[in-house]
Amino acid sequence: MSASTSNRTPGDRRVIQIGPFHPLLEEPVGFELTVEGEKVVHVDACMEYIHKGIERLAQERTYDMVPILLEKICGICSVTHSVCFCNAAEDLLQVEIPPRASYIRTIIGELERLHSHLLWVGLAGHFIGYNTVFMWAWKYREPVCDVFEMLTGHRQNSSLPIVGGVRRDIPESYFPEARRAMDRLDEQVEMLTAAVLDDPVLAARLKGIGVLTPQEVVDWGVVGPTARASGVDTDVRRDEPYAAYEELDWKVITTENGDVFDKAVVRLLEIRESISIIRQCLEKIPGGELNLGQQHIPRGEGIGRYEAPRGEDIHYLRSNGTNMPERLKVRAPSFTNVASFEVSCIGESIADVTITLAACDPCYSCTERTAVVRGVDGRPTHTFQDLVRLSQDKTRALAREMGREPGLNLL
């Protein structure tokens, strides 16, 4: 199951199956690479192994419980999803959260970005067989988790965000230690960045592979550092500021080439930016209320946007006036980034594809959204047309329920 197996298809094409349990992948995910000799001609991803149905579960939780559940969408983006949901609910409520709460959200959000980017740098090194970088980056990730634990009580899942603010305060007595940790980390990351940028082996291995042009980025809806590495200047933190980003001094990092090397550079430079954001927050954090108290969420809908470490995360929330969401829709950044494999991997050699797949830092926990329930001899039963028909039926049923005529474009 774990080892790659090959079987012949007509012509000289072969299909290589990777996964679902593969030592290189942390999560169970299946890829099918179609290759001609060494060259990859087609990539197919199988998105069902980690589907858990969290959107459905969220409809059975009260608004106070949902952010905690959403932390479990993805282990790395736990702050992302809970804050994004709170953004959606606050958009629905049209309220501003207290300033101290927005600073706390910024601090935990940036700490998360720090440990996520360091984790990626390490994994990228691991994928190309450069384990020194893996060990190095993960060693520097530890102090970040320590600071997270000092401030929130847990290494990753803080359970802090709630609708209208944050649940608990972060203790100021730990701020000096957090500051010192950031200073140390800054030096270490500076060294790591210089080492990675100067390394001739890494340059030879990563430059010019897995290139996404700016046009492809726009066409495929790629977001986050993957898009910024191709020179597409997008960042929700600046474009539609939430939390405290408007009051802080920081810049959006972009590079030009769009290859795997540049994606690494963007992330390494973003680490430095995040450190600076956290330092500013620790300086400037105001006192005051932590949250707005219990909120009654009225009937309506809201949209939350959040710049996750991997790109733009969107939550859509519909409320029917009860204490549980009527519908929650999560569009995680990896969902659009994974689709771009279709352009970035084609024509690369097999050895380069693993790192190209990893380059957008795909998170399959966020992405997987199908579960094949019944199938004849293990094949999926739905074609694209079936899915279109099913979703049209659903839209019609919803329209009928809401007493509206279905639009003409449904036919």
Binding site residues, other proteins, CB under 8 A: 1-3, 20-21, 23, 26-28, 48-54, 56-57, 60, 68-69, 71-76, 78, 119, 122, 134-135, 138-139, 141-142, 155-157, 363-365, 371-373
| Residue 154 Cβ vs other proteins, minimum distance, rounded to whole Å | 9
Give min distance, CB of 221 to other proteins, in A.
23
∠ CA 295-53-304 to the nearest 5 degrees? 40
Q: Indicate the SS3 state at residue 100.
A: helix
What is the closest distance, in whole angstroms, from the C-beta atom of residue 365 to ligand SF4 in the complex?
8
Our measurement of the distance from residue 387's CA atom to the centroid of its chain's CA atoms, rounded to an integer in Å, reads 25
CB of 5 to other proteins, least distance (A): 12
Count of residues binding ligand SF4 (CB under 6 A)?
2
**CA 304 to the chain's CA centroid:** 14
Q: Taking CB positions, which residue lies at the least distance from ligand SF4?
A: 72
CA distance 244 to 101: 9
The nearer residue to other proteins, 22 or 237, going by C-beta atoms, is 22
Of the pair 234, 365, the CB lying nearest ligand SF4 is at 365
Tell me whether residue 148 or residue 220 sits nearer to ligand SF4 (CB atom).
148
**Dist CA 1 CA 27 (whole Å):** 14
Does 179 help bind ligand SF4 (rule: CB under 6 A)? no
Segments in 25-159 forming alpha helices (H): 54-58, 66-70, 78-93, 99-127, 131-152
Long-range contacts of 355-359 (CB under 8 A, 24+ apart): 355/124, 355/127, 355/128, 355/205, 355/206, 355/209, 355/210, 355/260, 356/209, 356/210, 356/260, 357/31, 358/120, 358/123, 358/124, 358/127, 359/124, 359/210, 359/226, 359/260, 359/263
What does 202 interact with, of other proteins, ligand SF4, none (CB < 5 to 8 A by kind)?
Answer: none
Amino acid at 389: R
Residue 114 or 244 with smaller CB distance to other proteins: 114
| Residue 371 vs 397, nearer CB to other proteins | 371
Residue number, 72 or 329, with CB nearest to ligand SF4: 72
| 72 binds ligand SF4, rule: CB under 6 A | yes
Residue 228 Cβ vs other proteins, minimum distance, rounded to whole Å = 24
CB of 73 to ligand SF4, least distance (A): 9
The nearest distance, CB 154 to ligand SF4, in angstroms, is 10
Q: Which does 52 bind (CB under 5 to 8 A by kind): ligand SF4, other proteins, none?
A: other proteins
* Out of 28, 75, 214, 221, the residue judged to bind ligand SF4 by CB under 6 A: 75
Q: Which helix H or strand E contains 315, and what residues bound it?
A: strand 311-319
Query: Are 43 and 360 a contacting pair, CB within 8 Å?
Result: no
Decide if residue 51 touches ligand SF4 (CB under 6 A): no
Q: Which is nearer to other proteins, 129 or 321 (CB)?
A: 129
Select 68 or 248, whichever has its Cβ closest to other proteins.
Answer: 68
Q: Which is nearer to other proteins, 112 or 312 (CB)?
A: 112
Q: Which does 2 bind (CB under 5 to 8 A by kind): other proteins, ligand SF4, none?
A: other proteins
Structure tokens at 81: 């999803």
Minimum distance of ligand SF4 from residue 72's CB (angstroms):
4
Q: Say how far apart CA 401 and CA 411 lie, in whole Å.
A: 18
User: In this structure, are residues 356 and 263 in contact, taking their beta carbons and an 8 Å threshold?
Assistant: no
Task: Quote the distance between the C-alpha of residue 136 and its chain's center.
Answer: 23
Q: What would the two tokens of residue 333 be?
A: 């950044």
Label residue 167 exposed, middle or buried (CB < 10 Å: 0-12, 13-18, 19+). Answer: middle
Q: What are the structure tokens assigned to 194, written together?
A: 């210089």
* b/e map 260-293, b = 16+ CB within 10 Å: bbbbbbbbbbbbbbbbbbbbbbbeebeeeebbbe
Residue 341 binds which of other proteins, ligand SF4, none (CB < 5-8 A, kind-dependent): none
Q: How far is the CB of 158 from other proteins (least distance, A)?
A: 12
| 174, interface contact from ligand SF4, other proteins, none, CB < 5-8 Å by kind | none
User: Residue 185 binds what, of ligand SF4, other proteins, none (CB under 5 to 8 Å, by partner type)?
Assistant: none
Strand pairing partners for 319? 300, 325
Please give the residue ranges that form the binding site for ligand SF4 (CB under 6 A): 72, 75
